[in-house]
Amino acid sequence: MSPAVTKAPPTLVPPASPTPASTLLLPLSSIDRTAAVRVSVDFIQVFSSGGAGAPAAIREGFARALVPYFPVAGRIVESVPGVPEVECSGEGIWFVEAEADCTLDDVNQLERPLMIPKEELLPRPPPEVKLEDAILMAQVTVFKCGGIAVGICFSHLVFDGQGAAQFLKAVGEMARGLPEPSVTPIWSRDAIPDPPKIPRSGPPPSFTAFNFVTSVIEISSESINRTKNDFGAATGNKCSTFDVVTAMLYKCRAKAINLPPNAEVRLGFAASTRHLLHGVLPSVEGYYGNCVYPVGITRTSEEIDSASIVEIVAMIRDAKEALSTRFVDWMNGGAKDSHYNVPLDYGTLTVSDWSRVGFNEVDYGWGEPSYVFTLNDDVNIVASAIYLKPPAPKQGIRLMLRCVEEEHSAVFCEELLKLS
C-alpha cells in the first residue's frame, strides 16, 4: 500500500490580537507588480522531530507573527484592473493539519522522486476560495516517527524569497515563545520608485512548451572550492559559490544542447538589490517585499563552449557588477529597455538560488530543517535550475534541474558529473 496523508479541513489562523482595520488598502511596489513575480511559490521544510504538538505550536507562531506582519493576514485585491493591492482584512492565513500513516524513512525522507504526491503535502484553501487572492498558506504534516513536513505556499507578489524567509523566521521565534520578532517588519512599498513603463518593442513573447527532464545532481564543496581557488589564482579576486555553480551549468548545458556555433545561449537570474536600497527604504533590514532585478548574459554557443569555467565565472561577476548601474538607472527612470524582455526559447537557461535565502534557518522549536525543497518544478516554458542545500549532513549544492529535453539529458548529466 502506498503511504496516505489524512488532512483536516483548512481553517483560518487570524492575528492573535487586533490589527489595523479592514478598510486599509496597502499598495504593492513597482517591483512587486512586475509580471515575472505574479506566481505562487510552493516548498516543503522537513524536520526530523516536532511530534503531535507541532501543528498547535506552529499555528500559535503564525497567529502571533501576524500581528506585526498584519498585511500577510489580508488578501490580494484589484480595485483597479491590473493594479493589485493588499486589503488588510485581518482574515488570517489558511492552515491545514495533517497526519501521514508512515515514517519519514518509509518515504525516503521526502527525497526525489516523491513517494507522496506533492498535493498531499501542500495547503490549499476551501474550493470556493480563490487561491490567487491568498498571501500565504501553511500545512503541517506529522509522520509516525515524530518528524514533520511544513508545506508553505506564498504569493510572490507580496514577498521575495528572502522576505518570505524573514516572515517564517518570525513565526519560528513566536512559536518558541519569544516576545517579539528579532527583526521589525516594515511595509514601505511606496518608497520604491515607480518609473514610467518602457513600451515593449517587437511582437509579444511566444511560449513553447518543452518536455524537460527532471534530474537531481550534487556539486561537491571540494569541486566548488577548487574552482574558487582557480579563479583566485587567475584573477586575484574572490568569487561566490553561486558564480561557480552557475558557470558550470551554463557551460555544460550549452555543450549538451549543441546549438549551431553562432546561435545565442542565454543565462538569466534574479539578483538581490537590497544593498542598493539603503537610503531609498526607511530600513532595508525588515523590508519583506521584492528586492530583485533580472541579470542576463548572452553569448554564442561557440563562445561558451570554448571558454573555461574561470572565464565564465568572470562573465557572471561582470554582469552582477553591471546590475548596480542598471538598477539605479531603472529607479531614476533612465532605463532604455524592458529588463524582462528575454526570449523564452531553448537557448535560454534561468537559475534560482534557494541555498542561501533563509528557509533552511527557520526554527519552530525543534531546530533547523534537515532539508528544504521547492515544488515549483513543473514549468515547461523555460529551462530552469534551482540550487538547494542538500539534506544534512551533506555539504555542497544540490541542483534540481528541468532544463534539457530527453535527447540532451545524458550528455548534460555526464558533463556536469565531470565537474561535480
Answer for the pair 32, 157: CB distance below 8 angstroms, yes or no: yes
- What radius of gyration do the chain's Cα atoms show? 22
Q: Where are the alpha helices (DSSP H) in 336-394?
A: none
Q: Give the torsion through C-alpha atoms of 331, 273, 249, 219, to 10 deg.
A: 180
Q: For residues 349 and 381, give the distance between their C-alpha atoms in angstroms, rounded to a whole number.
A: 11
Nearest to 134 by CA among 174, 74, 80: 74
Is 363 catalytic? The answer is yes
What DSSP string runs through 247-296?
HHHHHHHHHHHT--TTSEEEEEEEEE-GGG-BTTBS-STTB-S--EEEEE
Answer for the pair 230, 402: CB distance below 8 angstroms, yes or no: no
What DSSP string runs through 150-201?
EEEEEETTT--HHHHHHHHHHHHHHHTT-SS-SS--B--GGGS--PPPPPPP
Q: Which three cell numbers stand for residue 158?
A: 507580496
Q: Which helix (H) or strand (E) holds 27?
A: strand 25-27
Of the residues 194, 363, 377, 408, only one is catalytic, namely 363
From the centroid of its chain, how far is CA 55?
24
Is 408 catalytic? The answer is no
Q: For residues 83 and 78, give the distance between their C-alpha atoms in angstroms, rounded to a whole number.
A: 6
The answer to whether the peptide bond before residue 204 is cis (omega within 30 degrees of 0) is no
Q: Which three cell numbers stand for residue 264?
A: 545565442
Q: For residues 2 and 19, give the distance between their C-alpha atoms in angstroms, rounded to a whole number.
A: 44
Residue type, 298: T
Q: Give the torsion through C-alpha atoms of 46, 48, 53, 54, to 10 deg.
A: -20
Of the residues 32, 42, 156, 345, only one is catalytic, namely 156
Question: Could you give the residue numbers annotated as active site?
Answer: 156, 363
